[in-house]
Homo-oligomer: A and B are copies of this chain.
């Protein structure tokens, strides 16, 4: 691919030889002599000079001696080039004889039902959707078009999955919410979970993540929201659009997240917590209170990240501080007793 073709593709302009042949795309350190790379921060300019890459995607022209494509968002351009140089594996459309299909199932065009797929009754599956081996789709579920369910995904009955959704291997959508109430003998009586889960368009869910069905109504994941591996979303949560939940995050029941929320790895939310739009919780933080305001938060219970950073610096000095206070007290006693 010529550098000028790359510039066209990503909506950028060439500085240098537009006829340069580019064979691949790679990070600064891994790039080979006919690759294009990308740089987003000044601190990487030195690495770039040492890089073997023939060309670079940058937001602003820099002095490196390498051919450049100037583009507003080099990372986005890089991602698009990765797609071009590494097109997704073609699926194997068709309904395998070893798939089991229930009654009243509506299949779109070019659907892939792999061996050992099990589809219940009254299910709809849209065009170009791929179900990998071992996928189970419960009765009365709907799956949109251009959606991919990787191996061993389970959709419980009545699940709704949108278009262009990706569910990675082992994802479980629609298992019962965790709800019990003590009976007369102090045993846990199961509260029936009769709601469902709705995953809107362009949602991606990581491997072995669990999204529980609502007690009543729906657990809902907003459009374009991306969820990493091993995340827990409990019953009746509502996630806004374009949010990010990193691996091992846990949401208790009935949480509400605004749009563009980011929960970093291992964050926990207590039940009924609301997180406002664009709020960011740092890794391992947790909150049982609402966080309405946009900003970055850390710690458990969470406080503004800067506050957290300051107090955790002091923590290791706490024993010293305690000793010092004791010492001050003794000296003050001595003065007062004089």
Contacts and interface: CB of A to CB of B under 8 A. Distances in A.
Contact of A169 (B175, B186, B252, B331): B175
Contacts of A72: 184
A151 B1 CA distance: 44
A156 B168 CA distance: 10
Contact of A133 (B78, B82, B100, B248): B100
A79 B175 contact: no
A199 to B, nearest CB: 15
Contacts of A118: 114-116, 133-134, 151
Interface stretch (A13-21, A44-52, A222-230): A222-230
A318 B313 CA distance: 10
A230 B175 CA distance: 12
A65 interface: no
A60 interface: no
A63 interface: no
B82 A192 contact: yes
Nearest to A139: B89
Contacts of A328: 325, 328-329, 332
Interface string A312-338: 111111110110110011011001100
A297 to B, nearest CB: 12
Interface stretch (A104-112, A123-131, A260-268): A260-268
A73 B311 contact: no
Nearest to A324: B325
A202 to B, nearest CB: 7
Contacts of A210: 170, 206-208, 229-230, 247
Given A192-B79, A208-B170, A268-B266, A316 B322 contact: no
A87 to B, nearest CB: 9
Given A268-B284, A311-B316, A180 B82 contact: no
A9 interface: no
A232 to B, nearest CB: 4
Nearest to A192: B82
A296 interface: no
Interface in A131-155: 132-134, 136, 139, 150-152, 154
A324 B118 CA distance: 67
A307 B313 CA distance: 12
A190 interface: yes
Interface string A172-194: 10011010111110111111101
A283 to B, nearest CB: 6
A77 B72 CA distance: 60
Contact of A178 (B27, B226, B307): B226
B248 A79 contact: no
Nearest to A331: B332
A212 interface: yes
Given A154-B150, A170-B152, A321-B322, A232 B232 contact: no
Most chain B CB neighbours (cut-off 10 Å) among A224, A232, A260: A232
Given A98-B100, A188-B226, A322-B317, A134 B157 contact: no
Nearest to A158: B89
